[in-house]
Amino acid sequence: MKPLVSILIPAYNAEEYLAETLDSALAQTWDNLEIIVVDDGSQDNTLAIAKQYESKIVKIIHQSNQGQSASENRALEAAQGDFIQYLDADDLLAPDKIERQIQLLGDSNSPYVAAGEWTRFYHTLSEAKFTPQPPWADMAPVDWLLCVWDGHYMMHGAAWLIPRSIADRAGQWTESLSLINDFDYFSRIVLASEGVKFCWGAKTYYRSGNPQSLSGSKSYAAWQSAFHALTLGTHNLLAHENSPRSRKVCADLFQRFVYEIYPDAPDIQQNAIVHVERHGGSTLAPPGTLSFQLLSRFVGWKQAKRIQSQIYRWGYSSVKKTQRLRSHHPA
């Protein structure tokens, strides 16, 4: 019998995108599927839209708002599949994505996880362009993580197809995490496998510009989550390989985080600096645009970041003011 694939979709206030996401899941050429949508206490029409799709294949679970990680765990607990396919409620799968990856892995006894091609889009898939990156290759677990972290790359969460046995070994999502919760979780997934098999042609689409997206959060709680996720993820790696190369990559990760978070949350910054020093220090230069680099030469990177932050806040305030004016004076 063909392996069953569980597509797990956590959803919170996703009324604008959920139908398109579910359509992409139902359009899979691999027909032995179950789709589990966990509505995380949405305050819009997400649950009503999900209910329209409820069937023998599509299961809908409603819970009070507990966060994305708790929703992922609720879906994972309900899943009966031999493979796990994660899918955010605003992202899309190519029709043959799952079938291609199952053909590559062979069956659910595979000791490997499958990754695939992914790209960003904002409104329509006509914008999508697939550009190969160094992590798009077969690699051993530690090598893959070092490649991704050192190059500041990512792998879209929906790009993976995970044998259930590997998901079980990796354990649940850490429910205290919000921002970059996948940094901890997918590092455990990769390390619980014998390696990553990259599947060319297995395509997924990551929606950018969604104001509800967790990745856009910059609150103090979000920064706390990101720091905790970095701490857990680097611990996962170093438990497998505590070497000069792995410690250097971990130190650079925390140094990059210091640059990203400044001037916010000075206490979290200081804790990150402690990790930089603990892992041997970092010579990583502050990243940024050419204008940021030029400004840094004259005033230093910290003052340049402050100026940059003020410009962003001014720009955001101007956009919100324009939106308010338009709402009171429609064209």
What pLDDT, in 10s, does the model give residues 265-290? 999 999 999 999 999 999 999 988 88
pLDDT of residue 1: 84
Q: Is the dihedral of CA 102, 127, 11, 185 positive or negative?
A: positive
Q: Of the candidates 116, 115, 103, 113, which has an alpha carbon nearest to the alpha carbon of residue 2? A: 103
pLDDT of residue 309: 77
Dig out the tokens for 241 from the structure: 């390989």
The residue count of the chain comes to 331
3-class DSSP assignment, residue 12: coil
> Tokens 């400004």 belong to which residue?
295
Per the omega criterion (within 30 degrees of 0), is the bond before 287 cis?
no
Question: pLDDT tens-digit profile of 171-192?
Answer: 999 999 999 999 999 999 999 9
Q: Residue 122: phi, psi to the nearest 5?
A: -110, -45
**SS3 string of 24-75?**
HHHCCCCCCEEEEEEEECCCCCHHHHHHHCCCCCEEEEEECCCCHHHHHHHH
> Tokens 């929606």 belong to which residue?
207
Q: Which residues of the chain have pLDDT under 50?
A: 319-320, 323, 331
pLDDT of residue 319: 45
pLDDT of residue 300: 87
pLDDT of residue 211: 65
3-class DSSP assignment, residue 78: helix
Dig out the tokens for 113 from the structure: 């996880």
pLDDT of residue 120: 95
pLDDT of residue 331: 47
pLDDT of residue 304: 86
